[in-house]
Amino acid sequence: MLLDSMTEIFPEKLDSMIEIFSEIYDKEIEYILNPYRGKPNSSKYSFDNFFLEKFLDKEPKICKEIIPKINEIINNNPINDEKIVKDVKLLVKNFDTSLRDDMDINPLDIEFTKENLFAYKIAEFLYEEYTISINRRFFVPENNRLIKLYDKKNIDLKKSPQYSKYGLINIDDNFEIRTSNAINGNKVYDKRLKTHLFINEISHKFLYLLKELKNEGIITSLSLRPEYNYVGEGLLDISVFQEEIERGHKFSFQDLSNPVVSKLYSKNNSKDNLWINIDIKNITFEELLDDFQIEGNYIVTQVVHLEYVDNLENFFITHIDHEYIFYTEDEYDNRLTNYKQKGKGKKRYKTFKVDNSKIPFTLKNGDFFLYRVLDKYFKKKELLHEYFEDVLNK
């Protein structure tokens, strides 16, 4: 990445630029969130590029600090990136045909803009890489906007056990889950902050199910994965924009009292498999795929774990969560044949967590709850159908 390579060569200049990028990104987030406050944005430009707008408007942080630093870097160490050169040529062409018309007619502004388009384009690339780096899917910024929002209300989010350990927010009596419309996105309303928070890593239908079970008192404690950056005060709930069994057994309630490990292979690809580990109080499902997901240097799998009890009348789920596991290459190779192998590449990433609850395996409407959970997260549906075939047919 350009940001990484330039940081190695010019660490001091890049450090100061990153601080400015952070300030600009905060402004961009507020700009993006305005419609969620019922305040549509207006722009004199005919394109959708916040950073470019700020450059054309002669934002001092960009034009008087970032651009001079980049020009200094270019003079000492020319950058011949083909993509940047190509994009700059396109930008010059667009400037001569349309961007000039979007700007206030000021000869000095036009001259400055044309002279610094190459430096600007490098700045834009660096800014994009910066925003991508802090919005990585499995990354939780340490001092993010969510923490700062709670700090304003003298609430230390880091002292919450669910947040400090898992990065989750506990949906207690201070919250209301909002699932009125899938188009609106998943949100919860915090009465203390008087604003909505976006919820990630969960489908609308599954969140609605969890909400219903919580309202019925079946779920006692629920924790969800919040959005950390796109956070602000006064946000409204409105829409702005979206196998064959190798060994073991198929699932049956009789198996719950007998430890067993089952592994199913996909009928189409023997490298796609579903591992199920069952003991007298736990069931763990893990999906291993041939086209596995990569996160940095790690191979990612999905795990659903639950704890259950038998009260002699029925089986109930007391705890359940879903998480992503990160394996090193050697760990993953061993995991393909050894269910005891742990993924220690990096900290596990939970998406939701239910505790101290009493969820029946079969819900009032006849739905098999565990299947609903696995079906929402796991990709190889044929493995799930095969494994749960006996239960689904009842």
Task: List, for residues 323-352, the tens digit of each pLDDT value.
Answer: 999 999 999 999 998 989 999 999 999 999
- The residue ranges of every structural domain in the chain are 2-134, 145-226, 244-392
Task: List, for residues 275-285, the tens digit of each pLDDT value.
Answer: 999 988 999 99
Q: What is the pLDDT of residue 303?
A: 97
Q: How far apart are CA 359 and CA 105, in angstroms?
A: 66
Task: List, for residues 73-114, the tens digit of each pLDDT value.
Answer: 888 877 666 777 777 777 777 766 666 666 655 666 778 888
Q: H or E element: which one contains 298? A: strand 298-310
Strands 244-247 and 273-278: unpaired
Q: How far apart are CA 362 and CA 303, in angstroms?
A: 21
Q: How far apart are CA 167 and CA 160, in angstroms?
A: 9
Q: Is 311 or 381 the better-scoring residue by pLDDT? A: 381
Q: H or E element: which one contains 332? A: helix 329-335
Q: How far apart are CA 280 and CA 152, in angstroms?
A: 46
Is the pLDDT at 3 greater than 60? The verdict is: no
